Amino acid sequence: MSPGSSDLPGPGPDLRAALGAFHGVVRENVNLAPMTHVRIGGPARWLVEPRTVGDVAAVVRACRELDLPLQVLGGGSNVLIADAGLAGVVLRLGAFQGIVRDGERCTVGAGVTLPSLIRLTKDAGLAGLELLIGIPAEVGGAVAMNAGTREASTFDTLASATLVDAAGAVRTLTRAELQPRYRDGGLDGRIVVEATFALRRDEPGAIQARLEESLRRRNATQPVTMRSVGCVFRNPGPECAAGALIERAGCKLLRRGGISVSARHANYFVNEGEGTARDFLDLMCEVRARVKDLAGVELEPEVKILGF
């Protein structure tokens, strides 16, 4: 067995044949842990990396035809993947790296990382994304999750997104045609291939100062250098932070196997090296039970739990 592969079951349905004229890469039994921020997860039965929007549509149609589950993986910064891996197809859009500027608008491929987009727009004197600095997402994942902070979210500057739906049809929808919610872009399972952001002009120096301030606040309160999924649970309400409830329930530094609740921010669980998805889920259950006992609140996961 070579590194990055596993002994998951053999050939099964002929995905390559169903894809037809496909320009991307198809690999089998690929270890997903290195593609996640928390470094947890078993192999994908198929990992498919399309090159064009037509390729993405072909993957969607092939999965429908073969009745295979399809999971999009972005930057892997808000997912917990089962130790046994994922059956079916995992789609990654790392080849979607285009950035086209038109005045104050930037149209960006889904695979561009948010940090690199923010760096590029700052250098071009375009402001509006500063409060998203430090979120280790790809643009597609940031739109899908409506990633953000208390002060700002991805949809604040999103003008439109080009999406592939469950039938493989491609459409560009404006912000007004989408229904974003708290940590949910309201995409109904559609795949983001491109997004356009409407920014505003400002001095790069002024943008840089705001970026530094955002990063300073983030670094002071979050374990940014550790392996995590960001916030594990959704905040139950605008004035009710999950992290504060978890801390009050005495869960800081609670541990299951190789996963512990961060001492710096109780809504972050940290993989100290050997943690598994099972450990992570066990810790989530324990924390949920303690918060329920303390405050009567049922915490809901923000992290996307895949393959269980």
Ligand X SMILES: Cc1cc2nc3c(=O)[nH]c(=O)nc-3n(C[C@H](O)[C@H](O)[C@H](O)COP(=O)(O)OP(=O)(O)OC[C@H]3O[C@@H](n4cnc5c(N)ncnc54)[C@H](O)[C@@H]3O)c2cc1C
- Return d(Cα 121, Cα 152) in angstroms, integer: 17
Q: Which of 8, 47, 57, 72 binds ligand X (CB under 6 A)?
A: 72
Q: How many residues bind ligand X (CB under 6 A)?
A: 32
Q: List residues with catalytic annotation.
A: 183, 231, 302
- Calpha distance 88→233 (Å, rounded): 27
Closest CB to ligand X among 58 and 145? Answer: 145
Residue span 37-56 as binding mask against ligand X, x where in contact by CB under 6 A, dash where not = x-------------------
CA distance 30 to 4: 5
Interface map 170-189 toward ligand X (x if CB under 6 A): -------------x---x--
Nearer to ligand X, 74 or 243 (CB): 74
- Residues in 83-142 that interact with ligand X by CB under 6 A: 93, 110, 135-138, 140-142
Of the two residues 24 and 75, which places its CB atom closer to ligand X in the complex? 75
Task: Give the C-alpha separation, 19 to 58, whole Å.
Answer: 6
Q: Which two three-digit tokens encode residue 13?
A: 């349905």
For 10-139, strand residue ranges (E) read: 25-31, 43-49, 70-73, 79-81, 86-92, 99-102, 105-109, 126-127
Residues 257-286 that bind ligand X (CB under 6 A): none
**How far apart are CB 269 and ligand X at their closest, in Å?**
11
**Sole window of 43-51, 71-79, 170-178, 249-257 interacting with ligand X (rule: CB under 6 A):** 71-79
Q: Comparing C-alpha atoms, which of 53, 52, 50 is closest to residue 15? A: 50
For residue 170, the 8-state DSSP code is: E
What distance in Å separates the CA atoms of residue 294 and residue 266, rounded to the nearest whole number?
A: 15
> Which 190-229 positions form the footprint of ligand X (CB under 6 A)?
191-192, 224, 228-229
- CB 284, min distance to ligand X, A: 15
Closest CB to ligand X among residues 185, 290: 185
If one asks whether residue 145 binds ligand X (CB under 6 A), the answer comes out as yes
**AA letter at 68:** L
Residue whose CB is less far from ligand X, 75 or 287: 75
CA distance 282 to 256: 7
Question: Running DSSP on this structure, what letter comes out for residue 38?
Answer: T
Q: Which two tokens stand for residue 32?
A: 């997903």
Among residues 83, 93, 2, the alpha carbon closest in space to that of 47 is found at: 93
Is 74 near ligand X (CB under 6 A)?
A: yes
Minimum CB separation from ligand X for residue 276, in Å? 18
State in angstroms the smallest separation of the CB of 8 from ligand X: 20
What are the beta bridge partners of residue 269?
261
The residue ranges that bind ligand X (CB under 6 A) are 37, 72-79, 93, 110, 135-138, 140-142, 144-145, 147-149, 183, 187, 191-192, 224, 228-230, 304
